[in-house]
Amino acid sequence: MHEFSIVNALLEMCEKNAQANQASRVTKVEIKIGKLSGVEPHLLETAFHTFKEESVCDGAELVMHLQDVVVRCHACNYEGALSQNEFVCPTCKSADVTVIDGEEMYLMHLEME
């Protein structure tokens, strides 16, 4: 389960940000998870709550935003979210699309004290 290693990296990032801002603790961690990122949100949440206790994030709230897959069509210039995992333009049905969002996981915001 790679969510545990992702959480370890996330907690390290929180620790570094807290130190850089002279904060003693993180109270809220806000992340964006793309649907194509390969991250299972419920497993990530479980791992976060398991490992946060011995870190600067002890007691922190985890807020997850799930990002739909967003594509750009090179045939008709459509740009928007896909409702299904069919990588064709919903407007012109072209398969000449590029994924522009929904493949990554990002740390979006931290609240610290």
Q: CATH number for the domain including 93?
A: 3.30.2320.80
Predicted confidence at residue 108, as pLDDT, reads 97
Long-range contacts of 74-81 (CB under 8 A, 24+ apart): 74/98
Backbone phi, psi, residue 70, to 5°: -115, 130
Which pLDDT score, from 0 to 100, does residue 84 have? 84
pLDDT score at 54? 86
The pTM assigned to this predicted structure is 0.86
- Binding-site positions read 2, 73, 76, 89, 92
Q: What string of pLDDT tens digits covers the 113 residues of the chain?
A: 588 999 999 999 999 999 999 999 999 999 999 999 999 999 999 999 999 998 999 999 999 999 999 999 999 999 999 988 889 999 999 999 999 999 999 999 999 99
At 100 the pLDDT is: 97
What local confidence, expressed as pLDDT, does residue 1 receive? 55
In the chain, the amino acid numbered 89 is C
Please report, in range form, the residues annotated as the binding site for Ni(2+).
Answer: 2
**DSSP-derived pairing of the beta strands 105-112 and 26-34:** antiparallel
What total number of domains does the chain contain?
1
Binding-site residues for Zn(2+): 73, 76, 89, 92
How do the residues of the chain divide into helix, strand and coil, expressed in percent and rounded to 5? 30, 30, 40
Range of the domain at 83: 3-112
Helices 41-51 & 3-20, crossing angle to 10 degrees? 50
Predicted confidence at residue 57, as pLDDT, reads: 97
